[in-house]
Amino acid sequence: MAVATAHEYIVRTKGLVKEYTMGGQALRALKGVTLDIRRGEYISLMGPSGSGKSTLFNMIGGLDKPSEGSVFIDEVDMAQLDASELAYLRCRRIGYIFQTFNLIPVMTALENVTLPMIFAGIPSDEAAEKGIMLLKTVGLGDRLHHKPSELSGGQQQRVAIARSFANDPVIILADEPTGNLDLKTGQEIIELLRLMNKERGVTIISATHDLKMVDVSDRIVWIRDGAIERIEERADIQLRVGEMEGPEA
């Protein structure tokens, strides 16, 4: 592990532009996004539906390519990676969590969690052992052999969280992880993510419009209409809440 030379910023985006063409019409989903994310941070990308959160998520995660601009992961320009390096990045360094869980329906919880390890070439007994450990960590030690359809939404998202940690990623990207969950279950998922962020030092970048995320985030990046509107440190937000709740209230 290159701890001594670890870069302060795990993710940097520079002038990211994404244009989609639909029916001959160009649509600018991102209009020049420059953002530096520190190692170990919990960042929420907050903004209304259609503001470009998922588009930015896909660029940072190497799931899609920007029209202009660059994404650096640990100071390496993603555009410079060849196909196998990009595959390695996606498989080993980044974990993904989606709103709709995206588990494989015919596989058990344990099989879903071990799959990324099998792809990474880890022997199956070792993968199983780690999968069990991860499922215990997310509170599903008694649901190892259940299939997604036999689990609640919150439990499915816990499986997805365990899966995202399978290969010890340095970055977790979560796109609306609480979007399909009720208030209480969403809160539990947020707390679990925060716990894993703190305990494992993994950087979490979550696209959301769930205001419950504000409490756990180190910084909130407000996105509107494909551009960063403002960036707030949690301390600033709590100060503001404090002001609002001041002696007058």
Ligand X SMILES: Nc1ncnc2c1ncn2[C@@H]1O[C@H](COP(=O)(O)OP(=O)(O)O)[C@@H](O)[C@H]1O
**Residues near Mg ion (CB under 5 A):** 53-54
Q: What is the DSSP letter of 91?
A: I
- Name the 3-class secondary structure at 174: strand
H-run or E-run covering 117: helix 109-119
What's the rounded Cα separation, in Å, for the pair 161 and 54?
Answer: 18
User: How near is the Cβ of 28 to ligand X at its closest, in Å?
Assistant: 8
Stretch that binds ligand X, among 50-58, 131-139, 150-158, 238-246 (CB under 6 A): 50-58
Using CB under 6 A as the binding rule, whether residue 27 contacts ligand X is answered as yes
Q: Is 51 among the residues that bind ligand X (CB under 6 A)?
A: yes
- By C-beta, is 54 or 217 nearer to ligand X? 54
Asked whether 86 and 157 are in contact (CB, 8 A), the reply is no
> Which member of 52, 61, 148, 154 binds ligand X (CB under 6 A)?
52
Comparing CB distances to Mg ion, the nearer of 56 and 110 is: 56
**Shortest Å distance, C-beta 226 to Mg ion:** 12
Among residues 53 and 158, whose Cβ is nearest to Mg ion? 53
Q: Determine, following the binding rule CB under 6 A, whether residue 219 of this chain makes contact with ligand X.
A: no
For residue 13, CA distances in Å to 56, 63, 74, 144, 230 come to 9, 15, 11, 38, 15
Q: How far apart are CA 46 and CA 176, in angstroms?
A: 10
Q: Smaller CB distance to ligand X: residue 60 or 162?
A: 60
Rounded to 5 degrees, φ, ψ at 232 are -120, 140
For binding to ligand X (CB under 6 A), which residues are involved? 20, 22, 27, 29, 47, 49-55
